[in-house]
């Protein structure tokens, strides 16, 4: 029975798709022939290899001590021979001439045992001779430029995210209707075996055919990209063409970080990406129908401007992508079936698959999900209106100085920044940030409110954006910040190197922001608060910090426990972001939340950490396998907090939200507040086990300490202690006015005074 099952599985016309993420299989064509290298670089323990000749004679392969290969017919119930066990270096064979490989189909399976790979369906046909390539024009050619980078392998950990997406492509290209489209990929840019050189491949009939190996080239070089696109256009002609850029993204920082040995983490700047597009456009003869960015935070207006030089449509996310990215199986299956003639429609297919997959694998509610589709033929209208807007905004700062500066601070603080998980960036260190992405549509909305003289310009731009962004979708964590957020972002940071490749309007806008920064930095005002009772009167038990509402744009609560000096901060909660107030506002702080928080990987292995509340999530700054990262904690059905994903940072770029794995190390960070100054220190490192780390709290209300952090328009933080020594919680028969209030029952808080 087992041999029948095995032969059936291996010789399926439409096989299951799993292996490249579990083992490195490096197939390299050359003039001398084809070479094969194999390496187990995941948790799996064994590789099995089998071949057929002309679909007959299933034989298992095993290497000899002399480097030769034995061919063994399987004789159940004895398990077939293991081809390779886990080791640190690849086993390589060949090169084999094309004649010697004629009629050969090679199959591989990985697992902890032969039974494991059969039961878990971890096998795949990995090689057969390349089919004849013709110049027949297809309906679509989809070109995927896949820079493996740290998403494929980082340090000693194989993530295999690029390989998983190739498996999705194989699954999406196994049907007869797929013959209407070409899918060609360029791979490389990673330290993983098989990804250290640049390969060009064809995906057809559920099979991955490696056509060329170009050797060691940097995929962060714009010429590598332009050469690939023009090669694909010539070799695989089609009526419509789409380009997918796969890797890390940084918006105005650029795209495509190559982490292979000799690339020195080279990344295409936005100017270099523009250079590649300028080379591609005349070679194509007509614009690409679509560019899809399967990379984080690439749905920016600046990226749209340079993409418009090469394409008619664009799709991407303003936010961090989960590790899975877009769903290639869905995209290619739907594209082959519908054969749309417009790039916008294909972009919508990418968006639909991305959203559906996020819901299916449950990243939709643990990440901030956005995805947008842009009609780039509408961009010139926006750019022209943006030039007038930027000029008038600059004039406002020249004419009105501090008045305009304060109004813009009030507007910016209400606008979502991307990535949203990068907590506190706009509040803690605005002056130090070279890249700050904020929601462009929401920014224009606040401009309409804060600057009546600019309202008509801002409203015209909002209308233009609605025409430009023809389709978009977000999830509840983004909508909770602003119901209309998630379309596209704009950079208001201090970095300017990309401006020369954009229309002059963006330089004008940057200059207006320079005036804003000069006014803000020149402002030395510090709001002075005083402690009062809830009603605003001075009293003996004054624990409410009263501030003037027009002097404050942001307030956060810092909850914790006393330290030898100052306090250890364990929880940060946003309490207030600027909004026009018509009456006084009282914001209470809950003393029961001033606990000690610990991240635990077992009952005895725990470390202190500071968490920040963000809608329905809690976020913590950690070192993740020695890299800066943000850990996301989610509540399960039992209201327990567990680690659900981690967002690493690599050389100033954010990676993708990815799940934790057994053996990962986490080093939490704890903030300490002393005499109005924040500092941070690392806790003890933890090693992740088989279950997700959990968040524990120890609440000694007699030690509860709460402070308020508040900012004026100049973004200079101030801290004030609200309560300590257990006097943060209302007690039975408490005489405090705020404790007797049936509406409040908070012993301390902040009172914003409008009058």
Q: How does pLDDT run across 222-264, given as a tens digit for each residue?
A: 999 999 999 999 999 999 999 999 999 999 999 998 988 887 8
pLDDT tens digits for 89-102? 898 998 999 999 99
Of all residues in the chain, what percent are helix, strand and coil, respectively (each to 5)?
30, 35, 35
pLDDT at 4: 45
**Where is pLDDT greater, at 511 or 541?**
511
Q: What is the DSSP string of 388-444?
A: HHHHHHHHHHHHHTHHHHHHHHHHHTTS-EESTTSTTHHHH-GGG-S--EEEHHHHH
Contact (Cβ atoms closer than 8 angstroms) between residue 481 and residue 446: no
* Whole-angstrom distance, CA of residue 755 vs CA of residue 72: 89
Counting every residue written for the chain, the total comes to: 755
pLDDT at 616: 85
| Nearest alpha carbon to residue 597 among 647, 660, 670 | 670
542 CB-contact burial (10 Å; exposed 0-12 / middle 13-18 / buried 19+): middle
* Whole-angstrom distance, CA of residue 199 vs CA of residue 28: 8
| % of the chain surpassing 70 pLDDT | 95
pLDDT at 648: 92
pLDDT at 539: 77
**pLDDT of 735 higher than 90:** no
**pLDDT of 105 higher than 70:** yes
Contact (Cβ atoms closer than 8 angstroms) between residue 566 and residue 560: no
Q: How far lies 316's CA from each of 245, 251, 287, 313, 353, in Å? A: 10, 11, 18, 11, 12
| Nearest alpha carbon to residue 488 among 325, 244, 251, 242 | 251
**Where is pLDDT greater, at 650 or 450?**
450
**3-state secondary structure (DSSP) of residue 514:** helix
The stretch 294-302 carries a mean pLDDT of 97
Question: Lowest-confidence range among 13-17, 484-488, 669-673?
Answer: 13-17
pLDDT at 31: 93
Residues with Cβ within 8 Å of 145's Cβ and at least 6 positions away in sequence, in order, are: 185, 186, 219, 225, 228, 229, 243, 244, 245, 246, 256
**pLDDT of 542 higher than 70:** yes
* Whole-angstrom distance, CA of residue 740 vs CA of residue 20: 65
Q: Which value, to the nearest 10 degrees, does the dihedral of the CA atoms of residues 532, 535, 537, 541 take?
A: -50
| Nearest alpha carbon to residue 375 among 502, 470, 251, 277 | 470
What is the residue extent of each domain of the chain? Answer: 2-128, 138-377, 380-521, 530-592+704-753, 596-698
> To which residue do tokens 């914790």 refer?
560
pLDDT tens digits for 561-577? 999 889 999 999 999 99
The stretch 637-646 carries a mean pLDDT of 93
* Whole-angstrom distance, CA of residue 239 vs CA of residue 237: 7
* Whole-angstrom distance, CA of residue 579 vs CA of residue 754: 12
Sign of CA dihedral 420, 422, 424, 430: negative
Q: Count of alpha carbons within 13 Å of 222, Cβ hemisphere only?
A: 14
**Where is pLDDT greater, at 166 or 44?**
166
Containing 655, the helix (H) or strand (E) segment is: none
pLDDT at 423: 57
**pLDDT of 427 higher than 50:** no
Quickly state the pLDDT bin for 402 (edges 50, 70, 90). low
- Per-residue DSSP letter, 180: G
**3-state secondary structure (DSSP) of residue 561:** strand
Question: Lowest-confidence range among 9-18, 165-174, 343-352?
Answer: 9-18
pLDDT tens digits for 124-166? 999 998 888 888 999 999 999 999 999 998 877 888 999 999 9
pLDDT at 456: 96
The stretch 432-440 carries a mean pLDDT of 82
Quickly state the pLDDT bin for 34 (edges 50, 70, 90). very high
> To which residue do tokens 């003039």 refer?
31
Quickly state the pLDDT bin for 76 (edges 50, 70, 90). confident
Per DSSP, helices labelled H in 320-401 are: 328-338, 343-360, 379-400
The CATH number that domain 138-377 falls under is: 3.40.50.11970
């Amino acid at each position: 029975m087992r041999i029948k099952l095995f032969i059936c599985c291996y010789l399926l016309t439409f096989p299951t798709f799993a292996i490249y993420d579990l083992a490195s299989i490096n197939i390299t064509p050359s003039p001398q022939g084809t070479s094969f290298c194999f390496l187990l670089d995941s948790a799996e323990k064994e590789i099995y290899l089998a071949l057929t000749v002309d679909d007959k004679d299933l034989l298992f392969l095993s290497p000899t001590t002399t480097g030769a290969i034995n061919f063994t017919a399987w004789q159940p119930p004895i398990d077939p021979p293991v081809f390779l066990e886990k080791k640190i270096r690849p086993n390589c064979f060949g090169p084999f001439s094309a004649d010697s490989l004629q009629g050969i189909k090679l199959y591989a399976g990985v697992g902890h045992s032969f039974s494991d790979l059969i039961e878990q369906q971890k096998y795949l046909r990995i090689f057969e001779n390349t089919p004849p390539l013709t110049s027949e024009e297809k309906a679509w050619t989809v070109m995927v430029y896949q820079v493996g980078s740290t998403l494929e392998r980082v340090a000693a950990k194989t993530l295999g995210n690029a390989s998983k997406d190739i498996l999705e492509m194989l699954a999406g290209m196994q049907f007869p209707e797929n013959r209407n489209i070409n899918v060609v990929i360029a791979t490389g840019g990673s330290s993983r075996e098989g990804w250290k050189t640049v390969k060009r491949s064809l995906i057809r009939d559920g099979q991955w055919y490696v056509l060329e190996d170009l050797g060691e080239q940097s995929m962060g070089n714009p010429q590598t990209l332009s050469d690939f696109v023009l090669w694909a256009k010539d070799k695989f002609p089609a009526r419509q063409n789409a380009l997918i850029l796969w890797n890390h993204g940084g918006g105005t920082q650029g795209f495509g970080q190559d982490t292979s040995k000799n690339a020195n983490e080279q990344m295409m700047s936005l100017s270099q990406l523009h250079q590649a597009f300028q080379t591609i456009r005349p070679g194509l003869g007509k614009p690409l129908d679509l560019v899809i960015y399967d990379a984080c935070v690439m749905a920016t207006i600046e990226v749209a401007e340079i993409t418009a030089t090469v394409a008619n449509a664009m799709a991407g996310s303003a936010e961090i992508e989960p590790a899975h990215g877009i769903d290639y199986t869905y995209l290619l299956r739907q594209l082959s079936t519908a054969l749309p003639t417009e790039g916008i429609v294909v972009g919508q297919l990418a968006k639909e698959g991305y959203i559906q997959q996020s819901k299916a694998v449950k990243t939709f509610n643990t990440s901030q999900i956005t995805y947008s589709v842009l009609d780039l033929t509408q961009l010139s209208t926006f750019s022209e209106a943006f030039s007038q807007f930027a000029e008038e905004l600059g004039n406002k700062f020249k004419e009105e100085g501090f008045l305009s500066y304060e109004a813009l601070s009030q507007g910016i603080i209400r606008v979502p920044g991307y990535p949203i998980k990068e907590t506190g960036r706009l509040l803690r260190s605005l002056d130090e940030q070279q890249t700050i992405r904020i929601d462009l549509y929401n920014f224009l909305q606040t401009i309409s409110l804060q600057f009546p003289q600019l309202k008509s310009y801002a409203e015209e731009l909002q209308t233009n954006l609605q025409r430009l962004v023809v389709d978009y979708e977000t999830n509840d964590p983004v909508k909770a910040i602003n119901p209309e957020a998630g379309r596209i972002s704009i950079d208001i940071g201090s970095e300017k190197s990309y401006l020369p490749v954009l229309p002059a309007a963006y330089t004008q806008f940057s200059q207006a922001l320079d005036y804003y920064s000069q006014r803000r930095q020149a402002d030395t005002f510090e709001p002075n608060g005083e402690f009062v009772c809830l009603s605003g009167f001075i009293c003996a038990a004054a624990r409410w910090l009263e501030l003037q509402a027009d002097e404050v744009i942001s307030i956060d609560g810092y909850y914790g426990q006393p330290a030898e000096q100052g306090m250890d901060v364990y929880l940060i909660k946003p309490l207030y972001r600027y909004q026009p107030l018509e009456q006084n506002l009282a914001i209470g702080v809950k003393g029961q939340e001033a606990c000690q928080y610990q991240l635990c990987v077992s009952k005895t292995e725990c470390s202190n950490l500071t968490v920040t509340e963000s809608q329905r999530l809690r976020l913590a700054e950690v070192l993740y396998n020695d890299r800066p990262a943000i850990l996301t904690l989610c509540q399960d059905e039992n209201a327990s907090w567990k680690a659900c994903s981690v967002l690493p940072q690599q050389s100033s770029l954010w990676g993708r939200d990815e799940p934790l794995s057994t053996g990962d190390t986490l080093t939490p960070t704890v903030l300490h507040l002393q005499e109005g100054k924040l500092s941070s220190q690392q806790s003890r490192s933890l090693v992740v086990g088989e279950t997700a780390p959990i968040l524990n709290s120890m609440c000694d209300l007699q030690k509860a300490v709460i402070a308020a952090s508040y900012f004026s328009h100049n973004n200079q933080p101030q801290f004030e202690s609200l309560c300590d020594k257990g006097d943060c919680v209302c007690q039975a028969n408490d005489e405090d006015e705020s404790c007797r209030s049936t509406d409040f029952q908070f012993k301390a808080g902040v009172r914003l005074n409008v009058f």
